[in-house]
Amino acid sequence: MRAVEEAFFMLDRDQDRSVDSDEALLLLRTALQEQTDDPTCDEKLTVNQYSTLMLRHVGSSELNDELRRTFDALDRDHDGKISRQDMDELRNENNFFDKLDNDQYELVVQELLIDGNNGMNFDQFVQLMMRS
């Protein structure tokens, strides 16, 4: 409930405990600009983008805290990405993936290497965790 209230007060810019259309539109415009890095963007906001935005801005939510702790534990070199090297280090150091055979482990790693990149940042991690 607290996270829902925090999301509401994020919309309530003038702190009058109500949200008018101008405040809601301002949030939507800001969200679109943040998600696309384009100040003139008029595209739609996807549920994944909205989830990432809410988790980033509703900082005290328990879910956001848990996702951040999990991400930080997986990001072994603390470079802001979970990379293959991070996963290999976890596997070798802590037997973190000891119940997975090599093929299963490779599937986990491939999920992290989206489009052949060098790892997954926090926003991508949140999107992955929020998939249903």
pLDDT score at 103: 92
pTM over 0.85: no
% of residues, the chain, pLDDT over 90: 5
The number of distinct structural domains making up the chain is: 2
The verdict on 85 and 118 lying in the same domain is: yes
Average pLDDT (30-38) is: 61
Structural domain includes residue 38: no
Residues 121 and 69 in one domain: yes
Q: Residue 87 sits in a domain of what CATH number?
A: 1.10.238.10
pLDDT at 20 over 70: yes
DSSP single-letter state for residue 17: S
Under DSSP, the state recorded for 65 is H
Residues 10 and 24 in one domain: yes
Let me know if residue 40 belongs to a domain: no
| Residue 105: domain span | 60-130
Using pLDDT thresholds of 50, 70 and 90, give the confidence band for residue 132: very low
Residue with tokens 């997975």: 100
Highest mean pLDDT among 31-35, 36-40, 77-81, 123-127: 77-81
Same domain, 90 and 112: yes
Task: Report residue 9: phi and psi, to 5°.
Answer: -70, -20
Mean pLDDT of the chain: 75
Helix (H) or strand (E) holding 49: helix 47-57
Task: Give residue-wise pLDDT tens across range 78-109.
Answer: 999 998 899 888 888 877 777 888 899 888 88
Q: How far apart are alpha carbons 121 and 79 in whole angstroms?
A: 9
66 and 116, same domain (yes or no): yes
In a domain, 87, yes or no: yes
- Measure the CA–CA gap between 109 and 68, rounded to whole angstroms: 19
